[in-house]
Chain A
Amino acid sequence: MNAVTIDKLTVDLDRVRILHDVSCAVSSGGWLALIGPNGAGKTTLLRAVAGLLPHRGAIRVNQTDLGALRGRGRARLIAYVPQIPVLPPDMTVQDYVLLGRTPYLGYLSAPGRSDRAKAAEASEQLDVTRFAGRRLASLSGGERQRVRLARALAQEPQVLLLDEPTNDLDLGHQQQVLELVDDLRHGQGVTVVSIMHDLTQASQYADQLVLLFQGRVETAGPPAAVLTEDLIARVYAARVTVTTDPAGHPVVTPVRDPPRRDIS
């Protein structure tokens, strides 16, 4: 069954059409990676699914049409982690994770014991309990990303939207975060839709790729079908070779010819 179905999604920003009739779907517990060059419309697509942009076309999560949901109802289904989330510097990790319970609170009610328990559970899962009392400003890049994921997890979402979750992280922390996300989808059945810049990582972690180009779906499918040298050359204007890693995932390697320098 598809957890997320996007049907003919069209988005205009400032009267410019950013997305044209985009359709794609990801099954429950799956991981869909949005790839494509800068300006292809990846973030716009993610924000539209998060309910942050006016759009035409339908977005369904587990058969529920998101258009019929109000803010809190949508936020109980979908957690959104933007590329550069705002981290109030003096807020503690604990308070920040607790914000994830917002969709479950009545207008005038405060977080209760069960909300704290859920937040604590999410913190435990992402191993941020150790620094629960620290200020957000004092965290390292890897710790920050884990805290963001903990807040998203406290939301108990069915769908996790991640805009470049490995942004600013070194290679080891990138893999650590991606493994955490992978654990979440396998452990909790959370469906993941993420934007990925690193095509090799996209192929290693996602089971579905959607290549966006100029606001349209250029190709969609399993990594091996999408990541071909010709397609990448055309869409990214890049020269690459595609090989296969031991696990059978496509590996995209940039190629540079020896520079020709005329020495006079």
Chain B
Amino acid sequence: MTRTRGRRLPAARAYGVAAAFLVAATLVSALVGAADLNPLATITALLDKIPFVHLPSSLNTLDRAVLFEIRLPRIVLGALVGGLLSVAGAGYQGVFRNPLVDSGLLGSSAGAGLGATLAIVYLGNAGPSAVPVAAFAGSLAGVAIAYLSGAVGGSGTATLLLAGVAVGLFLTAVQTYVLQRSAQDLQQVYSWLLGSLSGATWQQAAEILPYAAVSGAVILLHGRHLDVLAVGDEEARALGLHPGRTRLIVVAACALAAASAVAVSGLIGFVGIVVPHVVRRVAGPSYRIVLPLSLLAGAGFLVLADTLARTIVSPAELPIGVVTALVGSPVFVWILRSTRAVRT
């Protein structure tokens, strides 16, 4: 077959598209919801917050509160979580040379789930407030256990992935056991597992920001290294790279990124696979471009998904994990089919 995808989007244009997507998602999310905000007034109120820009806005006090204390923190938190999950997914995919790997892998999701379950079940009233910390710690611990059990003496990525699957199954089994003994907490644990950004606050965003910044920066700085890893460990070593060291650093950063996301949002699947994949289709496989684009596009994607989650069945909310899968899967399949001619 002829190459239908001869033209990749040049990097600059791809960044422009991704940034525009994020801005558009932010605007849509700021404008849509139970309270009816005047679009023009909302936009001027938002622009007014940009340093050195002073615009009068006709937004009243209540609308301002809705915008700045309810919608905006949720948008920012959603963007952070989406960006982190996507960039971590892309990072894992680079490290493992496998496009099906995502940020929940290597015991990350299972560890977070167990941590959150333990907090809800055993900490009583203190439980809910301890969930983010417990999920964060559980996620990191899950990855650490998987890494230590899988990274034995120069073994390859397959061993590491299998160890991750084994550790994940084990931790999930423990979680199921704990949960089965305390059925009264089932509802609460279940709703956490499905993921949600409801009740997002500026404080939550501020709490994960340091982890997000550090992990995101470390992942982004290793794009070139992941490109070298694409030719395999052996050739990467012959080019002077240390595959084991690179893998450890990137996995640690991805684990931190995923853990910070999970701590404030619960388990949101699919983002870490679908976003980097779409980005690759559009802009080519180089991680120097895929990583930053995934960050931007993932942020926009999750903000949009969250907007749907809180509006489709309003005033109730759908779990955001359900939305990402419901909306994402068909889109993903459509993209796969429409670009089928890529592999000849």
Contacts and interface: CB of A to CB of B under 8 A. Distances in A.
Question: Do A and B come together as binding partners?
Answer: yes
Interface of A: 47, 50-52, 70-76, 78-80, 82, 85-92, 95-96, 99-100, 102-103, 105, 108, 110-111, 135, 137-138, 155
Nearest to A99: B228
Chain A at the B interface: SS class: mixed
25 contacts: A47-B234, A51-B237, A52-B237, A52-B238, A70-B240, A71-B240, A71-B241, A75-B238, A75-B240, A76-B240, A80-B238, A82-B235, A85-B235, A86-B231, A86-B232, A90-B285, A90-B342, A91-B285, A95-B286, A99-B239, A108-B221, A135-B3, A137-B344, A138-B344, A155-B239
A91 B221 CA distance: 20
A249 B231 CA distance: 37
A92 B286 CA distance: 9
Given A71-B242, A90-B285, A138-B3, A80 B231 contact: no
A152 to B, nearest CB: 9
B235 A95 contact: no
Nearest to A103: B240
A48 B134 CA distance: 47
Interface in B236-258: 237-242
Contacts of B342: 90
A103 B239 contact: yes
A85 B231 contact: yes
Contacts of B231: 85-88, 96, 99
Given A52-B238, A110-B224, A110-B288, 17 more contacts: A47-B234, A51-B238, A71-B242, A72-B240, A75-B239, A75-B240, A79-B238, A86-B235, A87-B231, A88-B230, A90-B342, A91-B230, A99-B228, A99-B231, A102-B241, A137-B344, A155-B239
Interface string B283-312: 011101000000000000000000000000
Chain B at the A interface: SS class: loop
Contacts of A110: 224, 288
A78 B230 CA distance: 20
Interface string B204-244: 00000000000000000100100110111011011111100
A102 B344 contact: no
B343 interface: yes
B74 interface: no
Contacts of B343: 89, 137
Contacts of A95: 227, 286
B238 A105 contact: no
Interface string B307-344: 00000000000000000000000000000000000111
B71 interface: no
Nearest to A161: B238
Contact of A80 (B228, B235, B284): B235
Q: Which 6 A-B pairs have the closest CB atoms?
A: A75-B240, A72-B240, A86-B232, A103-B240, A80-B238, A102-B239
Interface string B3-15: 1000000000000
Contacts of A75: 238-240
B240 A102 contact: yes
Contacts of B241: 71, 102
Contacts of B242: 71
A102 B228 CA distance: 8
